[in-house]
Structure 1
């Protein structure tokens, strides 16, 4: 009997012994496979067999603690009494896998889009099994960047002072258009062949760790792509959210915690589709929830990952997405996950961080360790164009935001950023005024939280979201053989690129050395004349940061900051290697920043 025609897919394709949760749900897929009776040698290890209305699926749950070998023989018996055996592998885990260290506020994260970063292997620009083909002339097309391109430029990333890499998704996205971003995935156990192979991804992880960097996967729980194989042949009718007519989410995530929200508004927010090509997953379905939990854990274990950035986290039903998160952190207690919570109100953002005092009022806990600080991002995208600080303008916007830090259970575990792949680029907003770029970077390097940089800004790349996503997701110069300018190589960077890069590199290399800006406390002072002064400190170190958002030079009288300066005598400016006498007035140029290590 040809078992290949009967069993077309097995997911997870293999598993691991010694997991904290011994229960494993295995999906077998094939034509009318549900007609089979399934046994294994140790029949007590099978704890559940689930058949659905679709005869092409059968879900078999086993207790892996009752399996004593690394290979399981699943015996399938058909109605005509014929049988066949399907082998299933349980692999050994890495030593201390469950206790892996994740990313935290000692890290600086580099966000890149692989299709737009570097084309390291031209042989995989196209693939016979995927629809969209290479077309670098098309702004929203596939440009050929891949995993090999990332590997070849890890030295560049490391030279920037980066300690962790977040790549937008790499799993297969077989949509006919705009598949390069891979948020509409068609197979979540397979790297898109135009990026490489699963083995290439594991090799990327190995190369990252060889350099003592960390690898963060962009994981999507809310939706798949319209071309996903299970959307075309769903295990259950409610695998994805269905409406009588196409219904798009209203994007009003505030309805989730709003005690006054109507049921219909909340339902459409959570169950409506993100876009017509992204079917909304019904995570409340126990089969879906378990499938997503296992898929996430499989990637962590298989590729030896250091963290997740979770796309559209709060578009999923809170009760169930919190269970998904807890399943991961139960398995990996130190594992960090940062959720994309695109809300600008700190109270609403806090609701989604683990152990939030606000969510506790509603007896809810997201279990999500980290959230993206979109409120701060919005401020960093506007304040340096505001030369006046009348009450709530200018740099006061940042002061006012940090004054609400008491809302968060863990402010050091907020992801802070000025831009990403969905926003305008800072260098566009600030018209490539490097003074304003430097102020933004100095704040990212010294404020509480985990700083994230967006690829290319460190060499002056700009882009306007209003011109379309392709404008903020341009190809990195030098990532393709025929590029006239190679910004990866310090010898071939333009003078402008060198200025941007050298500043950014020096700043974030310094950040790696200072524990006070990683985990220290913050004291800040009400801005005066559009000048913001704050301190990061622990018991052994103190850093004084001065941000002059005023176009005019300013003299800062240090007596006001005596409670933080204390017995420190001097401050060493970390970028210019200048020494400042803390008993004297500090002079600071207009639209500039000073970072002083106190001595």
Structure 2
């Protein structure tokens, strides 16, 4: 009989404990600026229980929703030491079960981590296509899509271990920061390798590794004084997300009711003449049918996203965020999300994807924008991506003849609009990324044109970003062959690859030419502050030759980009302001000493980066 009652007691206890299926955030930290954490408890009919805590931990709010499987408990953590605190659940005065919620000790100096900035050079990686360091995790029994490297749009097996294994390659190249496309779980049945349709935002996708592996990546990078940037998605989740399948509230996602696609017209966020339905479809419409649109105007959703972002920064030791589809979010909610993170980490950095084609429209989304101020809007977002420069780069080096708005004048006009930005040093400059056509495809593999483009990206104002494989001349034609073609596997990332571009011996002679130029210019930029934070002085291009200077009180660099196929001779008297009395210099690309007293000759389709003496 005793044995029977003992087994019955175990059964009842197990049943009650099983009431909790998920707890998010899974733990928190003491001494956070955000001292109130809203813990979500999820389980069958869990809202039927009353919640209490020990007297030292104060519950400031308990929020129950129309879905009885959720309860949101706000806990005041200010002044509490690290350790485990018992959260008790009871029903009608009778004890039900409890949960030990942990507050961890915060790492010293965590709040004042320094994010990426214009002293950095960022390397964008699609982890599934970069390197496969652990073939054992290529597929996972819990997740639908299995590895199939023969399928261009399938999963190929690249992972976190592959990135760690090749950090020496990236450090030697001159990279100081890595932006990886999302690594959180994506259980879509197809095309899950891009990981923008996330199904669990507290879990690294097991096909990439574990949460601990991600933290180890950050630690290994920090040993090399490199920074890790997470690709964060605030606008949407994937249709396979566990919460989407059991919504906490009807308005957790935008409903019309049901599905309505975005019109993608981000201009409706600030257009003074817009129709309300157009604004609603951009902001509330779903990006695609498999990505439900999150409702940041719902306080529960917004707080969930704020806490999740801070949790990853603190847990993994992150140095920055790149935020996907930033300008599709509820603009009030995303400004609050950004502000909360920057208040917790004042020296952190966040760059938003604002894929627009007008400087004023992009500027609107940067913190303290003079354009946003017209409508009394401030996104609090430190950095935006310079898509107008990208637009120019995709065409101008294929334009041998300069016109009023063709050739190198495209670059000049782009920088002439810098007055629209609040902080030009905090613009992300790039030739291509995982969504655009490969820059070397645009140039048909022309090394000379690549050198011209890279010279501009690595010597102008802002923070430069390279896309993996560009440094070895990788190509890909998105219009003709789709996304998979611009996301090819990096050669040598898999043990059975016929060659490895990670070593000089493994690269072809052509790949080594691309690589050598990239390495030389990247490392020079890393060693010279004037190219990181110096002022920019530019001259109107003539004969398709663009000349500009980067300067500070200690140093000056003259950059000459001849986009003309023919050699050109420059009258240096025109550039007296930039030369500032210098009569000689060294071209760091060729090592040649140059006299700068009267004229300067430059070969066709060639650039010079001249360190002035």
TM over 0.5: yes
Displacement of 1:292 after TM fit? 0.2
Q: TM-score, normalised by structure 1?
A: 0.99
> Is residue 2:429 matched to residue 1:416?
yes
Instruction: Determine if contact 1:45/1:67 at 8 Å carries over to the other structure.
Output: no
Q: For residue 540 of structure 2, give the secondary structure of its aligned residue in structure 1.
A: strand
Larger deviation: 392-401 or 81-90?
81-90
**Structure 1 runs not aligned, ≥5 long:** none
Distance across 1 between alignment mates of 2:79 and 2:504: 57
Instruction: State which of 321, 327, 337 in structure 2 corresponds to 1:308.
Output: 321
Instruction: State which of 403, 415, 419 in structure 2 corresponds to 1:402.
Output: 415
Partner of 1:560: 574
Instruction: Determine if contact 1:47/1:62 at 8 Å carries over to the other structure.
Output: yes
Partner of 2:602: 588
Instruction: Determine if contact 2:17/2:97 at 8 Å carries over to the other structure.
Output: no
Instruction: State which of 255, 258, 273 in structure 2 corresponds to 1:260.
Output: 273
Distance across 2 between alignment mates of 1:461 and 1:431: 10
Displacement of 1:388 after TM fit? 1.1
Displacement of 1:81 after TM fit? 1.6
Displacement of 1:589 after TM fit? 0.7
Distance across 1 between alignment mates of 2:91 and 2:475: 61
Deviations for 1:551-571, whole angstroms, at most 9, x for unmatched residues? 101011111010111221211
Alignment of 1:223-238 (within 5 A): 223-238=236-251
> Is residue 2:221 matched to residue 1:208?
yes
Deviations for 1:425-475, whole angstroms, at most 9, x for unmatched residues? 011000000000000000011111000000001011000111100000000
Distance across 2 between alignment mates of 1:382 and 1:104: 27
Q: For residue 6 of structure 1, give the secondary structure of its aligned residue in structure 2.
A: coil
Instruction: State which of 150, 156, 165 in structure 2 corresponds to 1:152.
Output: 165
The count of aligned residue pairs is: 599
Instruction: Determine if contact 2:81/2:103 at 8 Å carries over to the other structure.
Output: no
Partner of 1:289: 302
> Is residue 2:387 matched to residue 1:378?
no
Q: For residue 238 of structure 1, give the secondary structure of its aligned residue in structure 2.
A: helix
Q: For residue 310 of structure 2, give the secondary structure of its aligned residue in structure 1.
A: helix
Q: TM-score, normalised by structure 2?
A: 0.97
Deviations for 1:232-289, whole angstroms, at most 9, x for unmatched residues? 0010000001113531100000110100011000000000000111000001100000
Partner of 1:107: 120
Partner of 1:474: 488
Distance across 1 between alignment mates of 2:30 and 2:94: 32
Displacement of 1:84 after TM fit? 1.6
Instruction: State which of 563, 586, 593 in structure 2 corresponds to 1:549.
Output: 563
Distance across 2 between alignment mates of 1:35 and 1:192: 33
Partner of 2:340: 327
Distance across 1 between alignment mates of 2:171 and 2:236: 33
Displacement of 1:79 after TM fit? 3.7
Runs of 4 or more consecutive aligned structure 1 residues displaced over 6 Å after TM superposition: none
Displacement of 1:4 after TM fit? 4.2
Instruction: Determine if contact 2:30/2:82 at 8 Å carries over to the other structure.
Output: no
Instruction: Determine if contact 2:443/2:449 at 8 Å carries over to the other structure.
Output: yes
Rate the CA distance shift 1:487–1:68 in 2: closer, same or farther, 3 A.
Answer: closer
Distance across 2 between alignment mates of 1:66 and 1:461: 54
Displacement of 1:68 after TM fit? 4.0
> Is residue 2:495 matched to residue 1:496?
no
Partner of 2:46: 33
Instruction: Determine if contact 1:35/1:79 at 8 Å carries over to the other structure.
Output: no
Partner of 2:372: 359
Partner of 1:46: 59
Instruction: State which of 59, 63, 69 in structure 1 corresponds to 2:72.
Output: 59
Q: For residue 476 of structure 1, give the secondary structure of its aligned residue in structure 2.
A: coil
Instruction: Determine if contact 2:57/2:77 at 8 Å carries over to the other structure.
Output: no
Distance across 1 between alignment mates of 2:29 and 2:56: 20
Q: For residue 512 of structure 1, give the secondary structure of its aligned residue in structure 2.
A: helix
**Structure 2 runs not aligned, ≥5 long:** 1-12
Distance across 2 between alignment mates of 1:97 and 1:66: 17
Distance across 1 between alignment mates of 2:347 and 2:499: 42
> Is residue 2:545 matched to residue 1:523?
no
Displacement of 1:515 after TM fit? 1.1
Instruction: Determine if contact 1:109/1:452 at 8 Å carries over to the other structure.
Output: yes
CA RMSD of aligned residues (A): 1.0
Q: For residue 87 of structure 2, give the secondary structure of its aligned residue in structure 1.
A: strand
Q: For residue 144 of structure 1, give the secondary structure of its aligned residue in structure 2.
A: coil
Deviations for 1:287-324, whole angstroms, at most 9, x for unmatched residues? 00000000000000000000000000010011110000
> Is residue 2:606 matched to residue 1:574?
no
Rate the CA distance shift 1:596–1:257 in 2: closer, same or farther, 3 A.
Answer: same
Deviations for 1:342-394, whole angstroms, at most 9, x for unmatched residues? 00100001100000011111110000000001000010110000011111110
Alignment of 1:66-85 (within 5 A): 66-79=79-92, 81-85=94-98
Q: For residue 18 of structure 2, give the secondary structure of its aligned residue in structure 1.
A: helix
Displacement of 1:43 after TM fit? 6.8
Instruction: Determine if contact 2:82/2:105 at 8 Å carries over to the other structure.
Output: no
Displacement of 1:485 after TM fit? 1.2
Instruction: Determine if contact 1:45/1:66 at 8 Å carries over to the other structure.
Output: no
Alignment of 1:134-153 (within 5 A): 134-153=147-166
Partner of 2:330: 317
Instruction: Determine if contact 1:125/1:133 at 8 Å carries over to the other structure.
Output: yes
Distance across 1 between alignment mates of 2:98 and 2:359: 55
